[in-house]
Structure 1
Amino acid sequence: MMFPKKISPKKLLNRFVYPAVIVAMALALWQYPRWFGPELPSYGKAERETVAREFRAAWVATVANIDWPSKPDLPVEQQQQEAIALLDKVAAANMNAVIFQVRPQADALYASELEPWSFYLSGEQGKAPEPFYDPLAFWIEQAHQRGLELHAWVNPYRAHHTQGGPVSEHSIVNKKSELVVRLANGMYWMEPTHEDTIAHSLAVITDIVQRYDIDGIHYDDYFYPYPSYNQGAPFPDSESFQAYQQQGGQLELSDWRREAVNRFVKDIYKEVKRLKPHVKVGISPFGIWRPNHPETIAGFDQHEKLYADARLWLNQGWLDYFTPQLYWNINRIEQSYPILLAWWQGENHLRRHLWPGLSSNQVATNEGTDEIINQILFNRALLQEQTGQVFWNVKTVSENPKFAELLKETVFYNQALVPASPWLDSTRPLAPEVRHQSTPNRLTISWQPLGDEAASRWLLYYQTDGKWRYKIFTGDVLKHDFNQQDEITAVAVVAVDRNGLESDRIDHQIAHRP
């Protein structure tokens, strides 16, 4: 029997291992686009000499502990640390708002006499944090310290979620059982047509507006539940509809349901503006109003399935900003992102803010990242100086440092103010009194507010190398130091009120220093 000659380890590497490695590397490079997605292009960055206006927000979901807190029984200190870390990452990416869910299942992430403490805080509905603190107040304070708006996000009709623990004695399911129905998937839902449902949810929202220093009230696409929640069966409100008909009601079932939701939307806007006109009201409905609107669009019909006439709300201006959930890509013909956004803008007769929701969790891949960057650029092209978007969800930046850094180095390179809402207020603040003081190593710019209205932000323009640049500060900041090496030749400080209106800009020349 013949045996092969023994091969030395070196020859083995040279003859078999190294060639195999080279082939594998070549195959990987050839298949890279298929396996990992295309490489990201070099997006570049555009420096600005005037302030950018753009709503840069993310949803922070508390239902099922999606975003915060990471689980329902964390110590208070850890809850707060998680909130601070999340807000730090949002601010570091040059974003300017968070939409924080405070009412996930007819319970509260704040001190409320109307609804119980949320299960998602302690794992026990009705149990206050120990040691006590108010999460909503804490989030507002921490967000405002970082120059971020905080919008309180409420779910108007969901009474209990399948991941919300047991139905407690404190739950509205037991406290006001006449308002609530059970769905096939185990969720409980308040009947939107019931007068007491409308009154209760409206009372919850107005309570938040009255007692908390929020910048906005926000509610999402859960009006009537999606059909799958009840396994395709009709929403269980037949008894209420029969009672309505027996009392002489003339509307058909679909119109009756829609009318109740429309009234609720209208009443929320009216009440919020009565209490605090500066608090913005935002709605984030499903991204398609109805199939064939525009003609090439196909998909779910929220008008007939969720009984949400979102086009009417936008047409009537029962909101300050409109955030359709446009979770489709640019090149998806039947649900094309740009076609849908342009259609909604065509329906925006009163020129309210149109800040679409983006499916930003796809930034886990290079291909998804490129899609989201392109959508942001398309928004700017269509919406111009009133542009904006909301990321679903905050993990886009809080758990993806690569994308967060990309944002800050490209499309969010410049800080941005939230676009103003001139229909809420037309009185501009007064410009501050500005002074400067020079030392051999430092130039100090200070300013003194004028007028009765407190500034929400300060906009500091400074000229160096013949170009203007700017910085945005919170309203409590009244000075800024420059290193003398910066060679600042002129400055201007602009007051920005809570509605985003700017004072006059008065440029101040800085004498050349030896």
Structure 2
Amino acid sequence: MNHSGEGRRVWVWLMLVMASVLAFFRLPGAWAAAPEFRGMWVTRFDWANPDEATAKGTIDDAMTKLRQHRFNAVLFQVRGQADTLYPSPNEPWSPLISPSGEDPGWDPMAYALAAAHAADLEFHAYINTHTCWHNQSYQAPTDPNHLYWQHCNAANSRRRDWLVHNSSGQPVQYVSDSYVWMAPGVPAAQAYARKQVMYVVTQYDVDGVHFDRVRMPSAAYSYDPISLSRLSGDGNPHGLGFADWTRDQFTRMLCDLYAQIMEVKPHIKVSSAPLGLYRADRYAGYPLGYQYGYTTAYQDAQAWLAAGAMDFIVPMIYWADGGALPDYSDILPDWVAHRAGRHVYGGQNRSVGVDELLQQVQVTRTLGAQGNVLFSYSGFSAGDFWPYYSASGSVYADSAAVPDMPWKQSPATGIIIGHVTDPNGDPIVDTQVTRTGSSYVGLSSGDGLYSFLNVPPGTYSLAFLAPGWGTGSLSGVTVAAGEVKRANITLGLDPQPPIITANPAAQDVCPDLSAAFAVKAIGQGTLSYRWQRDGVDVQDGGGVSGSRTRQLWITAAGQAHAGEYRCVVENHVGGVVSAGAGLTIKALTGFDSQPRSVSVDLGGTATFEVGLLGAEPRSYQWQHNGANVVNDERISGANSAALRIADVQAEDQGSYACIVSTACDGSVSQSASLTVLGLPRIVQADFDGDGDVDLDEFAFVQLCLSGAGVPVPGYWCDPTDLDGDGDVDQVDVAEMRSCLSGEGVEAAYECGGPAGEDESIP
């Protein structure tokens, strides 16, 4: 194979050879005995069964084999689709355990947890966070209390507020592995997902919680109404674009969840399984069309590490080295390089074969990652890969402890966590929270929770700005290393009227176009809006709408709508009036004076001028015989109200008009003519138009000769009547003789040469 990364793979191969030699001789301190995470995913499809004995047997077998073959951790799935494989007060039983939804009479997670600990395995509760339902046949859940029916039902417009919507604003179900997905930008959905995790954390002695499907099914989601409203409002304090904002929603939720977990059980390890490919620009030569978590799923797992929201991640690098891209050894180094002091474990899939898997364990060690996780138990067992791992001289020949996490044993920073509530104890959503020493703006979620991770030890002041509830502050918030400091606040205790944060802006519009006035205000409770024009309340109707909202619309604005507008904003305490903003209706263009026709001597100066009424600014364009006039050394004012033509020539003669345009309309003035005086009489003697007057023209005059007072013999002889008296006589013959130039010699101007072609000139 010959593509980018070849040099690195040669280096990796050499390191693997060295590792194999060390393993063969079983040297003390070789990689096989060093601390490393040796985990396996056990999905709900691997172990769950409605028959209790069967399920317990599978659990026992899994824990026994993992221990026997020197694994030290299990990532055991307990929640997949907003239903659970443990007794939950919030969600129904998974149909994999209880098809009827009834209590099966035992606690599978408690059983698996005890079995794992008995086998000296770390137990990480494996949870899908952003999936509302899953069914390959697209059949809805039978339990009417399932989250699907409450918030993810596409068929019910009142019950799909958490469901992902595509870029056309349509709710969508069963995308990407037949899942129904929850929108990450809905605060209530964030709080709900965290609540399920915290139930596991508080009720079970788990060693860790492990998250999957913390992403969108594709870049087409989610354009749901709640997300779009927050994106353009108070839920976007940093002014991010859609893609960055969506990624940030996942990050904020995970930060809040990490803070919650650390507050109650700081020893618990928090992890996730992101898509294996992070961003296209991190892998030289890789095409853009691959599934990169950052761009196709709005999953920024490296930001989660940098924020301190993960203790480890397991990127799912489910490809072998060699052959077609992607390659395992191309992808893992970038994750290791951006682990932000936390752990990265290589996520591997049994589908690549046992030989490749064994090599990937060694590659993982060589590249500096801290462990491996295999997907998954049933496939691994079906291939009977177990003995290959634990055989003498193989990758797991010796037992290994899980690696230490210094940031947990000896933390250097602390955490601030709190809830923002109103006087009734209800959560306030999208409160913007800032702390001294940081430009980051926290947000309160659907349950009012906010958090700051990686806070250096010190004393801080916190500032709170809540839509509808005003402002608040907390000072003297002292945080020690390793401390989770709680800082709750209740806003709205001191009744205050609203505060205007943005006044309406003046409008200057053309007739029959739309005008809009908007006001922004913050305050306690529910705010009401009342627009006024010149001090009188505005009513909807007659092209006016929104008179009782924060934005007033006027369609087809006219002089009847002109005036000063202001908004009265009120709450239960009182009201405040915005500054006034004028609405001016621009006047359309009108002429109060038109250009006048002029007669000017040859070489003189001609001026045309228009006088205007109406809107400013204006643009002008004078035209001569329908063509735009251009300024030059003789002509000025071609784009102004007054046109001046100096040293007037014969070609300047003709019709002049001015086109006047404004932002609202355009008008054309009346035409005025320029007559040039003193030009020689023009005789059109070049009958055949070849530029000369020769014997051809002279013969034509002789042919048409009629005599004095005798009409020309026919219309075809009309051009030979050079003096225009109705006959062709000796006077016309004399005119012709005076114009003769000869063949090929340009005719004189007076005889119809190039400089003059208008025989109407007197």
TM-score range, shorter chain: 0.5 to 0.7
Matched, 1:292 2:292: no
When residues 290 and 356 of structure 1 are mapped into structure 2, their CA distance, relative to the original with a 3 A threshold, is same
1:229-240 alignment, distance < 5 Å: 234-235=220-221, 237-240=223-226
Match of 1:478 in 2: none
When residues 153 and 165 of structure 1 are mapped into structure 2, their CA distance, relative to the original with a 3 A threshold, is farther
Match of 1:36 in 2: none
Match of 2:189 in 1: 197
Q: Normalising by the residue count of structure 2, what TM-score does the alignment of the two structures yield?
A: 0.45
Q: Secondary structure at the match of 1:57?
A: strand
User: How far 1:296 sits from its partner (Å)?
Assistant: 2.9
Kindly provide the amino acid, as one letter, of the partner of residue 47 in structure 1.
R
1:177-256 alignment, distance < 5 Å: 177=159, 178-181=161-164, 182-185=172-175, 187-226=179-218, 234-235=220-221, 237-244=223-230, 247=233, 249=236, 250-256=239-245
CA distance in 2, matches of 1:194, 1:331: 42
User: How far 1:226 sits from its partner (Å)?
Assistant: 3.8
Question: Percent same amino acid at aligned positions?
Answer: 28
When residues 405 and 42 of structure 1 are mapped into structure 2, their CA distance, relative to the original with a 3 A threshold, is farther
User: How far 1:317 sits from its partner (Å)?
Assistant: 3.0
Q: Secondary structure at the match of 1:335?
A: coil
User: How far 1:162 sits from its partner (Å)?
Assistant: 1.3
User: How far 1:300 sits from its partner (Å)?
Assistant: 1.8
CA distance in 2, matches of 1:338, 1:267: 33
Q: Report if aligned partners of 2:126, 2:210 keep a CA contact under 8 Å in 1.
A: yes
Question: Out of 396, 402, 416, which is 1:412 matched to?
Answer: 396
**Range 88-97 or range 297-306, more displaced:** 297-306
CA distance in 1, matches of 2:179, 2:126: 20
Q: Secondary structure at the match of 1:105?
A: coil
Question: Out of 19, 26, 47, which is 1:68 matched to?
Answer: 47
Question: Out of 49, 53, 59, which is 1:77 matched to?
Answer: 53
Q: Secondary structure at the match of 1:118?
A: coil
CA distance in 2, matches of 1:54, 1:209: 24
CA distance in 2, matches of 1:310, 1:287: 10
1:5-404 alignment, distance < 5 Å: 45=24, 47=26, 49=28, 51-62=33-44, 65=45, 67-69=46-48, 72-73=49-50, 75-124=51-100, 126-129=101-104, 132-163=105-136, 166-167=140-141, 168-176=143-151, 177=159, 178-181=161-164, 182-185=172-175, 187-226=179-218, 234-235=220-221, 237-244=223-230, 247=233, 249=236, 250-298=239-287, 299-332=290-323, 334-350=325-341, 352-362=342-352, 368-383=353-368, 387-401=370-384, 403-404=385-386
When residues 42 and 225 of structure 1 are mapped into structure 2, their CA distance, relative to the original with a 3 A threshold, is same
CA distance in 2, matches of 1:162, 1:321: 30
Q: Secondary structure at the match of 1:390?
A: strand
Match of 1:3 in 2: none
User: How far 1:173 sits from its partner (Å)?
Assistant: 1.2
User: How far 1:321 sits from its partner (Å)?
Assistant: 0.8
Match of 2:748 in 1: none
User: How far 1:210 sits from its partner (Å)?
Assistant: 0.9
Q: Report if aligned partners of 2:174, 2:180 keep a CA contact under 8 Å in 1.
A: no
CA distance in 1, matches of 2:25, 2:196: 44
Kindly provide the amino acid, as one letter, of the partner of residue 148 in structure 2.
V
When residues 273 and 243 of structure 1 are mapped into structure 2, their CA distance, relative to the original with a 3 A threshold, is same
Q: Secondary structure at the match of 2:76?
A: strand
Task: Write the deviation string for residues 39-98 of structure 1: whole angstroms up to 9, x where unpaired.
Answer: xx9996453545531111111111xx2x112xx43x212211121112212222111111
CA distance in 1, matches of 2:379, 2:162: 37
Kindly provide the amino acid, as one letter, of the partner of residue 135 in structure 2.
T
User: How far 1:382 sits from its partner (Å)?
Assistant: 2.0
CA distance in 2, matches of 1:411, 1:245: 49
CA distance in 1, matches of 2:285, 2:266: 39
Q: Secondary structure at the match of 1:142?
A: helix
Higher strand share: 2
CA distance in 2, matches of 1:375, 1:420: 22
CA distance in 2, matches of 1:136, 1:155: 15
Kindly provide the amino acid, as one letter, of the partner of residue 26 in structure 2.
E
After superposition, the CA RMSD in angstroms is 2.4
CA distance in 2, matches of 1:380, 1:246: 46
CA distance in 1, matches of 2:27, 2:206: 30
Kindly provide the amino acid, as one letter, of the partner of residue 197 in structure 2.
I
User: How far 1:342 sits from its partner (Å)?
Assistant: 1.1
When residues 307 and 202 of structure 1 are mapped into structure 2, their CA distance, relative to the original with a 3 A threshold, is same
CA distance in 2, matches of 1:342, 1:371: 17
**Range 418-427 or range 240-249, more displaced:** 240-249
Q: Report if aligned partners of 1:90, 1:398 keep a CA contact under 8 Å in 2.
A: no
What is the number of residues matched between the two proteins? Answer: 363
Task: Write the deviation string for residues 205-249 of structure 1: whole angstroms up to 9, x where unpaired.
Answer: 11111111111111124411246xxxxxx3353422442356465
CA distance in 2, matches of 1:266, 1:416: 31
Kindly provide the amino acid, as one letter, of the partner of residue 407 in structure 1.
Y
Kindly provide the amino acid, as one letter, of the partner of residue 58 in structure 1.
M
Q: Report if aligned partners of 1:45, 1:413 keep a CA contact under 8 Å in 2.
A: no
Q: Report if aligned partners of 1:360, 1:393 keep a CA contact under 8 Å in 2.
A: yes
Q: Which has the larger radius of gyration?
A: 2
Kindly provide the amino acid, as one letter, of the partner of residue 188 in structure 2.
D
Q: Report if aligned partners of 1:361, 1:395 keep a CA contact under 8 Å in 2.
A: no
Task: Write the deviation string for residues 372-421 of structure 1: whole angstroms up to 9, x where unpaired.
Answer: 111111111222xx6310001113543333x2111110111101111111
CA distance in 2, matches of 1:210, 1:291: 39
CA distance in 2, matches of 1:199, 1:339: 37
CA distance in 2, matches of 1:115, 1:200: 11
CA distance in 1, matches of 2:103, 2:398: 41
**Range 133-142 or range 331-340, more displaced:** 331-340
User: How far 1:255 sits from its partner (Å)?
Assistant: 2.1
CA distance in 2, matches of 1:216, 1:334: 33
Unaligned runs of 5+ in 2: 1-19, 152-158, 165-171, 412-762
Kindly provide the amino acid, as one letter, of the partner of residue 181 in structure 2.
W
User: How far 1:426 sits from its partner (Å)?
Assistant: 3.9
Match of 1:465 in 2: none
CA distance in 1, matches of 2:139, 2:95: 7
When residues 333 and 312 of structure 1 are mapped into structure 2, their CA distance, relative to the original with a 3 A threshold, is farther
Kindly provide the amino acid, as one letter, of the partner of residue 120 in structure 2.
G
Q: Secondary structure at the match of 1:53?
A: coil
